[in-house]
Amino acid sequence: MKFHQMNWQQRLAAIDANTNLSTSEKALLNHNYSAINEQMIENYITSFSLPEGVLPNIIINDDAYQVPMVTEEPSVIAAASNGARMINMGGGVHTTNVSREMIGQVLINDADFSTIETLVTNQAAHLIDLGNAAHPSMAQRGGGLKRITTRDLGSGFVSVDLHIDTQAAMGANVVNTISEAVAGYFKAQQVGNVVMAILSNFATSSLVTAKVALPFKAIAKAGFEAADIAQRIVLANQFSQRDPYRATTENKGVMNGIDAVVMASGNDWRAISAGVHAYAARDGQYRNLVTWTCDDTTLYGEITVPMPVGIVGGSISIVPLVQTNHKLLNVDSASQLAQVIVAVGLAQNLSALRALVTSGIQAGHMQLQLKSLALAVGATIAEVPVLVTQLQQAAHADMQTARQLLTEMREK
Ligand code: MEV
């Protein structure tokens, strides 16, 4: 029997035969079984969980939000909360979401660009009807295929871009269904070799902008001059403008926040990450997503990224915890969710840069990292606080020291 034809018990038995699992390892796989999750993927064996926490208060367009975040990194939620605290002192984040459309691509080669362009112009209404007929319910709700553009990719390669309003959904399936229907038309016209039809994750028609203006007192820190902190944040940010090595790390920090909310909200974080990083490289060089500037009194931050998330569809309608998270988020539209996510990314970046240009990142992270270190060497939940206190006093708080301290503690 093929692996994917086996039922869950048979799959576990097959894995056990290959891997020789211990009783407690088998119990762990069993314990995390979920009937819903089993339906979601192929070859299901168990469910993998990550910690979820909440950013308790971030003000966005004058409304306060509590934001669930899913992450395995110890300092992410603490940093987001700290960033939000500073931002709230400056009146909160102001966000805009200019448009919310997904793009589907029909990719054709061996094509004459002007022939395709003329066809698209002359047949626009027909093509739009054809696309919408493939997914009538989306059109009935006021969404669906809205317009079609073409791009000449050179050497006979052409992209026919379908601009699709997916309403409250991220809409990958809708976009792909409509794109395949429109591709059928181009195949029938024999205007080139229709290679494929698929949505683009470079969602440049779903851009969200978030801005903050922070009086220096909002970023004040004991032992540092607030104006100096602001100038150093601006400088730090300028490195990312110039250097992809630094920009990648700064953007990773932004994604600490963005991905954590994207995951908690049941959206596709790979799609979001791919689109955001492509946007960071849109002028040919990979750069930072957030821009910081300052004048004599105020630090200004701004980020624009594609954020094509949904509040219905996919795992959102299936996973109960995701539904609970939407209740915590209390957003009414996909656009509102997108704005919350981008605002959290900005808060995350502010907190990271402020730490980096003042006391450095390790000081604030240490308490949380020591907890992870204690767990990593096998400390029980009861032993963790004692071991963390001892590690704080150790000359080198590393794995070896942690192991040694734990052994000594248990021997006493
Ligand atoms: C760590 O997860 C994120 C940071 O490296 C971000 C940054 O360097 O800007 C602290």
Q: Is the pLDDT of residue 57 over 90?
A: yes
Residue closest via CA to ligand 1's atom 10 equals 352
Mean pLDDT of 33-37: 94
Residue 256 CA, closest ligand 1 atom number: 2
- Which of 166, 200, 234 lies at the terminal end of a domain, its last residue? 200
**Residue 211 shares a structural domain with residue 310:** yes
Distance (Å) of CA 375 to CA 14, 74, 75, 103, 131: 31, 12, 15, 45, 54
Residue 356 confidence (pLDDT): 97
Q: CB 98: neighbour CB atoms within 10 A?
A: 11
**Residue 304 shares a structural domain with residue 334:** yes
CA distance 142 to 393: 63
**Residue 392 shares a structural domain with residue 335:** no
Residue closest via CA to ligand 1's atom 9 equals 250
Boundaries of domain holding 7: 3-40
- Which of 334, 359, 384 lies at the terminal end of a domain, its last residue? 359
**Residue 135 shares a structural domain with residue 224:** no
Confirm whether 258 is domain-assigned. yes
Mean pLDDT of 1-8: 93
CA of 327 to the centre of ligand 1 (A): 30
CA of 352 to the centre of ligand 1 (A): 6
Residue closest via CA to ligand 1's atom 2 equals 253
Q: Active-site residue numbers?
A: 73, 252, 268, 365
CA of 125 to the centre of ligand 1 (A): 48
Q: Which of 243, 249, 290, 303 to mutate to test the pocket of ligand 1 (most atoms within 8 A of CB)?
A: 249
What tens digit of pLDDT does each residue of 227-282 get?
A: 999 999 999 999 999 999 999 999 999 999 999 999 999 999 999 999 999 999 99
Residue 73 CA, closest ligand 1 atom number: 2
Residue 367 confidence (pLDDT): 73
**Residue 378 shares a structural domain with residue 342:** no
CA of 184 to the centre of ligand 1 (A): 46
**Residue 147 shares a structural domain with residue 214:** no
What tens digit of pLDDT does each residue of 397-412 get?
A: 899 999 999 999 999 8
What is the share, in percent, of the chain residues with pLDDT greater than 70?
A: 100
158 has which bridge partners?
A: 108, 152
Confirm whether 45 is domain-assigned. no
Mean pLDDT of 322-338: 96
Residue 99 confidence (pLDDT): 80
Mean pLDDT of 68-78: 95
Averaged pLDDT score across all residues of the chain: 96
**Residue 229 shares a structural domain with residue 344:** yes
CATH value at residue 377: 1.10.8.660
Residues 6+ apart with CB under 8 A from 162: 103, 104, 105, 106, 131, 145, 148, 175, 178, 179, 182
**Residue 175 shares a structural domain with residue 56:** no
Long-range own/partner contacts, residues 35-41 (CB < 8 A, 24 or more apart): 36/318, 36/319, 36/320, 38/8, 39/318, 40/315, 40/318
Residue closest via CA to ligand 1's atom 4 equals 253
Q: Name the one residue in this structure whose structure tokens are 């699709």.
A: 164
Residue 254 CA, closest ligand 1 atom number: 6
Q: Is the pLDDT of residue 364 over 80?
A: no
Residue 353 CA, closest ligand 1 atom number: 9
Residue 39 confidence (pLDDT): 93
Residue 404 confidence (pLDDT): 95
Residue 157 confidence (pLDDT): 98
What is the share, in percent, of the chain residues with pLDDT greater than 90?
A: 92
Contact 282, 194 (CB under 8 A): no
Residue 98 confidence (pLDDT): 75
Mean pLDDT of 349-368: 88
Write the burial class of residue 203 (CB in 10 Å: 0-12 exposed, 13-18 middle, 19+ buried).
Answer: buried
Q: CB within 6 Å of ligand 1 — which residues?
A: 73, 249-250, 252-253, 256, 352-353, 356, 361
**Residue 250 shares a structural domain with residue 351:** yes
**Residue 194 shares a structural domain with residue 146:** yes
CATH value at residue 184: 3.30.70.420
CA of 232 to the centre of ligand 1 (A): 16
CA distance 160 to 143: 19
Domain count, the chain: 4
pTM of the model: 0.92
Strand-pair category, 290-294 with 102-109: unpaired
Distance (Å) of CA 120 to CA 11, 92, 116, 160, 252: 50, 44, 6, 8, 40
Residues 6+ apart with CB under 8 A from 334: 100, 167, 168, 169, 170, 309, 310, 311
Confirm whether 349 is domain-assigned. yes
Residue 349 CA, closest ligand 1 atom number: 9
Confirm whether 46 is domain-assigned. no
Residue 97 confidence (pLDDT): 87
N-terminal to C-terminal alpha carbon distance within the chain: 54
Confirm whether 47 is domain-assigned. no
Q: Name the one residue in this structure whose structure tokens are 């969980």.
A: 49
Taken in order 279, 233, 85, 250, the sign of the CA dihedral is positive
CA of 252 to the centre of ligand 1 (A): 6
Confirm whether 68 is domain-assigned. yes
Give residue 55's Cα distance to chain centre. Answer: 16
Residue 168 phi/psi, 5-degree rounding, is -80, -10
Q: Which of 252, 254, 258 to mutate to test the pocket of ligand 1 (most atoms within 8 A of CB)?
A: 252
Residue 365 confidence (pLDDT): 73
Confirm whether 210 is domain-assigned. yes
Confirm whether 213 is domain-assigned. yes
**Residue 256 shares a structural domain with residue 353:** yes
Max intra-chain CA distance, the chain: 85
pLDDT band at 368 (very low <50, low <70, confident <90, very high): confident
CATH value at residue 298: 3.90.770.10
Residue 81, both tokens:
């909360």
**Residue 275 shares a structural domain with residue 350:** yes
CA of 356 to the centre of ligand 1 (A): 8
Q: Is the pLDDT of residue 9 over 90?
A: yes
What tens digit of pLDDT does each residue of 206-223 get?
A: 999 999 999 999 999 999
What tens digit of pLDDT does each residue of 142-199 get?
A: 999 999 999 999 999 999 999 999 999 999 999 999 999 999 999 999 999 999 999 9
- Which of 165, 200, 235 lies at the terminal end of a domain, its last residue? 200
Contact 160, 147 (CB under 8 A): no
